[in-house]
Structure 1
Amino acid sequence: MISAADVEDLTGRVRGPVLVPQDEGYAQEVTGFNLAGVARPEVVVGATGTEDVVAAIGWASAHGCPVGVQATGHGADEPMEGGLLITTTRMQEVKVDPGRRTARVGAGVRWRSVLAASLPHGLIGLNGSSTDVGVIGYTLAGGLPVLGRTFGWAADRIRAAELVTPDGVLHHLDADHEPELFALLRGGKGNLGVVTSLSFELVPLQAFYGGGIFYPGADAHQVLDAFSTWAPALPPQANTSIALLRLPDMPMVPDPLRGQFLVHLRFAWAGDPEDGAQSLAPMRAVSHPVLDTAGPMDYRDVDRIDMDPTDPVPLFHTGGFLAAFNISTVEDLLAVAGPGADFPVVAVEIVQMGAAFARPASVPDAVHGREAACFLGVIALLVPPVAQAVPAAVGTLLEAMAPHAPSGVFVNHYGFPPTEAERARAWPAEAYTRLVQTKTALDPQNLLRYQHVVGQGHR
């Protein structure tokens, strides 16, 4: 139990707010985007900068108090009970150096803020399907960029980081300073400490073409067959994914799509829009689209490609890599999640990989999945009346796809695996061994025991 005197001591060490459950503002402070992973800490610190994080971690270490960290809460898969939660939403530093093509961001920054600062210079960071997501948590896990086939993994662009380890020590990391710890951060996620700032490369983007095509769900077989031969042959400028969508009849879904089973092709082209349109043309000739939104696009509107939800929802998500997506994979996927199936999952997506995703890192890292042909993602809403049926349904799908999957999974879309053996699948075996060794050395009390924990279990 954390006493009132302990809370008073913590309050005296930090500049940001310190809240306990009975305080006004506590609920708002601890609530993230994924409402399935509700945080109920005994105390929460709203960190205003690196000094607050150092002080809070030092306090937690002295008290043997477990620590959770939350920026946007998109990855909050596991409920947090008790302990100290450090929220980083007030840490909003964004500095763009257009000459060096770099950005430095604080721990609470979302991708949309990076784009607002970088796009006037013709530069972008390697964001994923939603710019509402926090930069640091997304990037530390590898990142799965919209333009990943063109530019590679987001983690490969990290150039420096500030890390507060569980002993309360601040480390300044790059390829020349503590290179082993720096390598494990790049793809290793966040279990070795709290990253308070990140510096990374930006990439130039002068022209962009993107959007999506929605097909009737009844034509899923025809569309997926076409995708399975079209997507692997695309040039590196082309980035694509395809999803089976069972969209709820809810206000957050646009009227033309609400309550329907659809196939959603997503497409992003880094370059001349005319070339992008030509590359997409074969898929435009497939089936009879319900809606086609693809065209020349301002990259500020990149969220329109995947159309991820923008309001907090209780989510169940998982996924893994595929060795191939071919006719056999299509058959096994549709047998479980195709037309007519009673399948309580909002989205099953296939992200085409290869090209720059397969490129080796310039310096060592812990990114998993370079050899994969595709990424399989599964997203479900944990709402009545389907919530109880979701885990079994997802298990059935993953079992059906197992013959097409290599051993690895993607940590940012892996949900909450129950055992260490399952968690270990999110990293290459050699990288996981190093992560466990480093975790044991840096965090012998296992203070950072929430979310993607390595080596020591959760308690």
Structure 2
Amino acid sequence: MPTDNIPHPFSDLADDVRGNVLLPGEHGYDEELRGFQAGFSHQPAVIVCALGADDVRAAVRFAAVRGMAVAVQSTGHGLTVVDRGGLLLKTDRMTEVTVDPETRRARIDAGARWHHVVERAEPYGLAPPSGSAGHVGVVGYTLAGGMGLLAREFGYAADHVRALDVVTADGELREVTAASEPDLFWALRGGRDNFGIVTSLEIDLQSVSRVYGGGLFFDSEHAAAVMSFFREWTSRVPDSMTASLGMIGYPPMPSLPEVLRGRHVVHVRFTTTDLTGGPDLVRPWLDVAPVLLEHLGELPYRETGSIYREPDFSHPYDGNSVLLSELDPAVLEAVRQLAGADAPVGCIVDLRHLGGALSRPPETPSALSFRDAAYVLRILSVPDGQNLADVRAVHRRLDDAVRPWTVGRSLNFVYGERAADEFRSEFYEKPVLDRLAALKAVYDPANVFRRNQNIEPAV
């Protein structure tokens, strides 16, 4: 790219990459920092808008020589540790997806989103291990585990990765597989961006074209009954059923269904590949409490984003999650009392049933921890007009209340600016964290990749 207006030493970097190199104050710099997370953003010394793996290599080499931290951003959903004064790699322009129907695998570039993969896979009757929102980026979601819409049947997204192209701290592009580099392959699947910048990955697809799914809305006055039934019902459903329960207070917006406007509700969501048995599994829910709104039925996989009805527009949010060993009645009461309709700040609760294939070790082990967790409890708030400290105080009270049943945290479900080491010991079992730290010392001894939930190199 032209370097006339770029000061030394960044002119050297601009000479080596095809994509734009942007400095603070330049046209386009602020725009590049905008992501799905609107409440927090990086403040790097330089942004590299990578167009391919060679740009990533050049940027990492440039930063490593100068002792700069390297952060990466695709869609900006998972921003938790803010980079200040480092180098930010934008990978959102790297979006190529190819599907091989013979091997039932997809090759996915670093900036692709799940809806890109779904679109490419659908003509072959295949589906990826995507989550509840198709606009989420593939790579970050997958490397942190990724609990898909059919997770209890097929396991974590990371369990289906077969190869990764990754630029390590030495600026080398490596093709990493279980056979070629088993230690790095193990660490990347769970260690996320601590060991390098993944420029593409290859992942298995499933023979799924249609599912039975959707959800039921109940008024929050029936939350105790609905949550109690969720506990009992999830204890006996087959692995083919993946379900979750959410609580949210809707604003009185005309774009919402009239019955939901201005109402605090419990939303129970279902997805299964069992088109015949799915309706029978869900039918008992119709007798738990009066149903405000029903959206259930058979649908093509490409429409599964409608199940959770999550927003697809940029907005600020802050939150956290815990992995639970069981769903004790005291947990449900704490959720209802501390994060329900009467919470002092608006809370969005998401309680997902785990187990099934998620609990079984994959054929090729990975760094993902706490597979024995039975549920993940997620809480988030939109801090607009509210003091962030007040929001986090409410979240912390719920965190404390469920601590007796907490086994760890989900790396994908921590939101908002955090210290790089705030939850490090809670994302991994200790033997796993020790091995990750030892491998970090091998692959990134200078901790170039530290603007994240950081794993420090072992001494």
Q: Same fold (TM over 0.5)?
A: yes
Distance 1:383 1:205, change over 3 A: same
SS of equivalent to 1:213: strand
In 2, the alpha carbon distance for the partners of 1:73 and 1:380 equals 17
1:277 aligned to 259, 263, 279, which one?
Answer: 279
Query: How far did residue 421 of structure 1 move?
Result: 6.6
Is 2:201 the counterpart of 1:198? yes
SS of equivalent to 2:106: strand
Q: Per-residue CA shift, 1:269-303, capped at 9, x if unaligned? A: 1121x421111001121111111111111211111
1:308 corresponding residue in structure 2:
310
1:293 corresponding residue in structure 2:
295
SS of equivalent to 2:193: coil
Distance 1:389 1:288, change over 3 A: same
1:229 corresponding residue in structure 2:
232
Q: Specify every segment of 5 or more residues in structure 2 that has no aligned partner in the other structure, as ranges.
A: 1-5
Q: Superposition pairs for residues 261-272 of structure 1, below 5 Å?
A: 261-272=264-275
Please say if residues 250 and 259 of structure 1, whose CA atoms lie closer than 8 Å, have aligned partners that are also in contact.
yes
1:414 corresponding residue in structure 2:
414
Please say if residues 36 and 77 of structure 1, whose CA atoms lie closer than 8 Å, have aligned partners that are also in contact.
no
Task: State how many pairs are aligned.
Answer: 452
Please say if residues 208 and 296 of structure 1, whose CA atoms lie closer than 8 Å, have aligned partners that are also in contact.
yes
Query: How far did residue 99 of structure 1 move?
Result: 0.6
In 1, the alpha carbon distance for the partners of 2:87 and 2:227 equals 46
2:113 corresponding residue in structure 1:
110
Identify which range, 351-360 or 329-338, moves more after superposition: 329-338
1:71 corresponding residue in structure 2:
74
SS of equivalent to 1:297: strand
Q: Per-residue CA shift, 1:26-55, capped at 9, x if unaligned? A: 122121111223112121111000010001
In 2, the alpha carbon distance for the partners of 1:346 and 1:307 equals 16
SS of equivalent to 2:171: coil
In 2, the alpha carbon distance for the partners of 1:61 and 1:167 equals 7
Is 2:16 the counterpart of 1:43? no
Report the aligned-residue RMSD: 1.8
1:101 aligned to 78, 81, 104, which one?
Answer: 104
Distance 1:420 1:248, change over 3 A: same
Please say if residues 420 and 453 of structure 2, whose CA atoms lie closer than 8 Å, have aligned partners that are also in contact.
no
Distance 1:251 1:17, change over 3 A: farther
In 2, the alpha carbon distance for the partners of 1:432 and 1:317 equals 23
Query: How far did residue 387 of structure 1 move?
Result: 4.0
The letter of the residue matching 1:82 is G
SS of equivalent to 1:197: strand
In 2, the alpha carbon distance for the partners of 1:143 and 1:256 equals 32
In 2, the alpha carbon distance for the partners of 1:419 and 1:70 equals 16
The letter of the residue matching 1:16 is G
In 2, the alpha carbon distance for the partners of 1:140 and 1:191 equals 10
Is 2:209 the counterpart of 1:209? no
Q: Per-residue CA shift, 1:247-266, capped at 9, x if unaligned? A: 34567755542332110101
Q: Superposition pairs for residues 285-434 of structure 1, below 5 Å?
A: 285-339=287-341, 341-385=342-386, 387-406=388-407, 408-415=408-415, 418=419, 420=421, 422-434=423-435
In 1, the alpha carbon distance for the partners of 2:456 and 2:424 equals 9
In 2, the alpha carbon distance for the partners of 1:437 and 1:105 equals 29
Identify which range, 111-120 or 17-26, moves more after superposition: 17-26
Query: How far did residue 456 of structure 1 move?
Result: 5.9
In 2, the alpha carbon distance for the partners of 1:142 and 1:306 equals 19
Query: How far did residue 246 of structure 1 move?
Result: 2.2
Q: Superposition pairs for residues 229-268 of structure 1, below 5 Å?
A: 229-249=232-252, 255-268=258-271
Identify which range, 157-166 or 360-369, moves more after superposition: 360-369
Please say if residues 72 and 108 of structure 1, whose CA atoms lie closer than 8 Å, have aligned partners that are also in contact.
yes
SS of equivalent to 1:302: helix
TM-score (norm 2): 0.94
SS of equivalent to 1:366: coil
Query: How far did residue 432 of structure 1 move?
Result: 0.9
The letter of the residue matching 2:292 is V
Identify which range, 103-112 or 300-309, moves more after superposition: 300-309
In 2, the alpha carbon distance for the partners of 1:178 and 1:252 equals 51
Identify which range, 390-399 or 361-370, moves more after superposition: 361-370
Query: How far did residue 412 of structure 1 move?
Result: 1.0
Identify which range, 378-387 or 37-46, moves more after superposition: 378-387
In 2, the alpha carbon distance for the partners of 1:75 and 1:256 equals 32
Q: Specify every segment of 5 or more residues in structure 1 that has no aligned partner in the other structure, as ranges.
A: none
SS of equivalent to 1:41: coil
SS of equivalent to 2:88: strand
